[in-house]
Amino acid sequence: MSDADAVLADLRDEGEALDALVGGLAPARWAEPTPAAGWTIAHQIGHLTWTDRQALLSATDPAAFREAAERALASPATFVDEGARREAQAPPEELLASWRAVRTELYEALATRTTRDKMPWFATSMSTASMATGRLMETWAHGQDIADTLGVRREPTARLRHVARIGVRARDYAYAANGLPVPAEEFRVELRAPGGGTWTYGPEGAAQRVTGDALGFCLLVTQRAHRDDVDVRAEGADADRWLDIAQAFAGPPGKGREPGGRDAR
């Protein structure tokens, strides 16, 4: 199985796991506010629907996607919220059906592409595996907002390795997004994986190190938890600063979460 096939299978499973959370919700619950300011559960699923739709367009009609992206990037501070809001206006049953349909179409479209294919994305391009990994990260992160709203503690899975990998690879982006100089040296990252074992990144002898729980690291880099509330530690000034600014997503720096939002794990 190729890397792209593996992440596509995990993307499908992540979508099904979130679907199981929201599929049986009463319509009134879709209006409940989530930890993301101004976003309800409907906005969270609306955002995933809108973004999956953009990814599908990129995979099937790159020229049309480039035109749509150009229009969206004319309002860089608002186009994401606007997309979520438009989708969230549909009744919950229609929104759920739309999300199910578009994510299925996206899986099928990505499965037809080769590993080396590149697809346009907002101000960049993505390989098949990278596109699927990005969609999985977003599905998991927005699913976390929904789980927190519903008071559900999700069991971490090996699918988190994709989220962790994006978080590590986005280190330099996080520094640049915050107007900070990018450290010249690589960091060592060692994470305790769900079910046992360790995920490692970077040179073993690096002076700058981050260690801890994989779930906590993923919550941190998706800005779903404050660093005080997760079992992730830094050695070295640069690594310590990274834990304050880490983000696995593109765009401007997020506001993150206030401390005390969840139990330290």
Domain boundaries defined on the chain = 3-132, 160-245
Statement: the pTM of the whole predicted model exceeds 0.85: yes
Q: Which two tokens stand for residue 244?
A: 């304050």
Of 110-114, 115-119, 142-146, 253-257, where does mean pLDDT reach its minimum? 253-257
pLDDT grade, residue 75 (50/70/90)? confident
The distance of Cα 236 from the centroid of its chain, to the nearest Å, equals 27
pLDDT grade, residue 262 (50/70/90)? low
Q: Which CATH number does the domain 3-132 belong to among 3.50.50.60, 1.20.120.450, 3.10.129.10, 2.60.40.10?
A: 1.20.120.450
Longest alpha-carbon distance in the chain? 54
DSSP 150-192: HT--PPP-TTHHHHHHHHHHTHHHHHHHTT-PPPSSPPEEEEE
Q: What is the pLDDT of residue 145?
A: 97
In the predicted structure, residue 265 carries a pLDDT above the cut 50: no
In the predicted structure, residue 77 carries a pLDDT above the cut 90: no
Region 139-158: what's the mean pLDDT?
Answer: 97
| Backbone torsions φ then ψ of 199, nearest 5 degrees | -100, 130
In the predicted structure, residue 120 carries a pLDDT above the cut 50: yes
- Taking the alpha carbons at both ends of the chain, their separation in whole angstroms is 33
- Which of helix, strand or coil describes residue 125? strand
Burial-class residue 114 by CB neighbours within 10 Å (0-12, 13-18, 19+). exposed
For 205-232, what is each residue's pLDDT tens digit? Answer: 999 999 999 999 999 999 999 999 999 9
Q: Tell me which fold the domain 160-245 belongs to.
A: Nonspecific Lipid-transfer Protein; Chain A (3.30.1050)
Region 30-49: what's the mean pLDDT?
Answer: 97
Q: Whole-angstrom Cα distance, residue 265 to residue 257?
A: 16
254 versus 97: the higher-pLDDT residue is 97
Q: What is the pLDDT of residue 264?
A: 36
In the predicted structure, residue 2 carries a pLDDT above the cut 80: no
In the predicted structure, residue 147 carries a pLDDT above the cut 50: yes
Q: What is the pLDDT of residue 174?
A: 95
In the predicted structure, residue 5 carries a pLDDT above the cut 90: no
Region 193-204: what's the mean pLDDT?
Answer: 97
Average pLDDT, the chain: 94
Q: What is the pLDDT of residue 87?
A: 97
Q: Give yes or no for a contact between 31 and 40, defined as CB atoms under 8 angstroms apart.
A: yes
pLDDT grade, residue 1 (50/70/90)? low
Q: Whole-angstrom Cα distance, residue 134 to residue 105?
A: 16
Helix axes 160-169, 214-221, angle to 10 degrees: 50
